[in-house]
Structure 1
Amino acid sequence: MIAPRRRKTVADAAAQAERRWLRQVGQGAPLAAAIALPLVAGSLLLPQSFALARALHRLVIERQSLREVAPWLALAAVLLLLRALLLWAAEIKAQNAAEQIKQNLRRQLMQRLLASGVLWSRARPSGALADAISTQVDLLEGYFARYLPATVSAAFLPLLFCAVLAAFNWVAALILLLTLPVIPLFMALVGWGAEAASRRQATALTRLSGLFADRVRGLLTLKLHGRAEAESQRVAAASHELAERSMKVLRIAFMSSAVLEFFAALGLAGMALYFGLSLLGFVRVGGSPTLEVALFGLLLAPEAYWPLRQMAAHYHDRAHARAAVAEIARLFDGLPSAEAGVARDADVPLHLPLDLRQGFVIRQLRMPIPGRTALCMAAGELRPGDWVALAGRSGSGKSTLLETLAGLRPFEGEVCFGGQALNTIAQAQLRQQVLLISQRPWLAPGSVADNLRLIAPEAHEAALMHALTQVGLADWVRSLPQGLDTPLGMRGQGASGGQAQRLALARLFLSGAPVLLLDEPTAHLDAASRNALLAALADFALGRTVLLASHDPTALAWAHTRWHIDADGQVRA
Structure 2
Amino acid sequence: MLAVGVGAISEGGGVSDLTIPAAIVLGLGILRAALDAAGGRLAFQAARRELTAHRSAATAALALRSPLDSARPASGLAASMLGEQAEAIVPYLQRFRPARLKASVVPLVMFVCILPISWVAAVILALCAPLIPIFMALIGWRAKAASEKQLAETGGINAFLLDRLRGLATIRALGAVDATALRLRGDAESLRVRTMAVLRIAFLSSAVLEFFSALGVAAMAVYVGFSLLGSIDIGTWDGRLTLTQGLFILLLAPAFFEPLRELSAVWHDRAAGEAALAALKDLASSQQTILGGSDAKPCISTGPASVEIQGLVFRHGAERRAVIDHFDLSVAPGEHIALWGASGSGKTTILSLIAGLAPHEAGVIRVGGIPLRDDTADGLRRRMAWIGQSPHVFAGSVIGNIALGRTGIDGHAVANALRNVALDEVFTAERVAAVGEGGLGLSGGEALRLALARMMVGEHADIILADEPTAHLDAQTAAAVTDALLALAKGRVLIVATHDPVLAGRLGRVVRLEAPARRVAA
> What band does the TM-score fall into relative to the shorter chain?
0.7 to 0.9
Q: Which runs of 5+ in 1 are unaligned?
A: 1-50, 337-342
Secondary structure at the counterpart of residue 488 of structure 1: coil
Partner of 1:145: 94
Partner of 1:389: 337
Task: State percent identity of aligned pairs.
Answer: 33
Q: Indicate whether 1:126 and 2:72 are aligned.
A: no
Partner of 2:450: 503
More displaced 10-residue stretch of structure 1: 348-357 or 228-237: 348-357
Contact persistence 1:349–1:424 (CA under 8 A): no
Residues 157-179 of structure 1: per-residue CA shift (max 9 Å, x gap): 10111102223333333322221
Secondary structure at the counterpart of residue 197 of structure 2: helix
Return the offset for 1:308.
0.8
Alpha-carbon distance in structure 2 between the residues aligned to 1:548 and 1:294: 89
Partner of 1:353: 299
Contact persistence 1:473–1:502 (CA under 8 A): yes
Contact persistence 1:399–1:519 (CA under 8 A): yes
Return the offset for 1:258.
0.9
Partner of 1:75: 24
Q: Aligned match of 2:253 in 288, 295, 301?
A: 301
1:207-222 to 2 correspondence within 5 Å? Answer: 207-222=156-171
Partner of 1:321: 273
Secondary structure at the counterpart of residue 67 of structure 2: helix
Secondary structure at the counterpart of residue 473 of structure 1: coil
Return the offset for 1:246.
0.8
What amino acid maps onto 1:234 in structure 2?
A: R
Q: Indicate whether 1:97 and 2:46 are aligned.
A: yes
Partner of 1:64: 14
1:14-25 to 2 correspondence within 5 Å? Answer: none
Q: Which runs of 5+ in 2 are unaligned?
A: none
Report the CA distance shift for 1:367/1:75 in structure 2 as closer, same or farther (over 3 A).
Answer: same
1:163-242 to 2 correspondence within 5 Å? Answer: 163-242=112-191
Alpha-carbon distance in structure 2 between the residues aligned to 1:251 and 1:310: 18
Partner of 1:403: 352
Q: Number of matched residues?
A: 507
Partner of 1:364: 311
Greater helix proportion: 1
Report the CA distance shift for 1:528/1:289 in structure 2 as closer, same or farther (over 3 A).
Answer: closer
Return the offset for 1:111.
2.4
Secondary structure at the counterpart of residue 361 of structure 1: strand
Return the offset for 1:182.
1.3
Contact persistence 2:388–2:466 (CA under 8 A): yes
Runs of at least 4 residues off by over 6 Å:
329-336, 369-373
Contact persistence 1:518–1:549 (CA under 8 A): yes
What amino acid maps onto 1:188 in structure 2?
A: A
Partner of 1:434: 384
Partner of 1:277: 226
Alpha-carbon distance in structure 1 between the residues aligned to 2:449 and 2:11: 93
Alpha-carbon distance in structure 1 between the residues aligned to 2:293 and 2:323: 32
Alpha-carbon distance in structure 2 between the residues aligned to 1:164 and 1:129: 51
Q: Indicate whether 1:451 and 2:401 are aligned.
A: yes
Report the CA distance shift for 1:334/1:495 in structure 2 as closer, same or farther (over 3 A).
Answer: closer
Alpha-carbon distance in structure 1 between the residues aligned to 2:171 and 2:102: 54
Alpha-carbon distance in structure 1 between the residues aligned to 2:405 and 2:342: 29
Contact persistence 2:313–2:325 (CA under 8 A): yes
Contact persistence 1:365–1:379 (CA under 8 A): no
Secondary structure at the counterpart of residue 308 of structure 2: strand
Partner of 1:23: none
Partner of 1:565: 512
Partner of 2:363: 413
Contact persistence 1:437–1:505 (CA under 8 A): yes
Alpha-carbon distance in structure 2 between the residues aligned to 1:478 and 1:320: 54
* TM-score under structure 2 length normalisation: 0.84
Return the offset for 1:241.
1.0
RMSD: 3.5
Contact persistence 2:420–2:484 (CA under 8 A): no
What amino acid maps onto 2:19 in structure 1?
A: A
Alpha-carbon distance in structure 1 between the residues aligned to 2:386 and 2:277: 35
Alpha-carbon distance in structure 1 between the residues aligned to 2:11 and 2:409: 85
Contact persistence 1:467–1:509 (CA under 8 A): yes
Partner of 1:519: 467
Alpha-carbon distance in structure 1 between the residues aligned to 2:135 and 2:263: 13
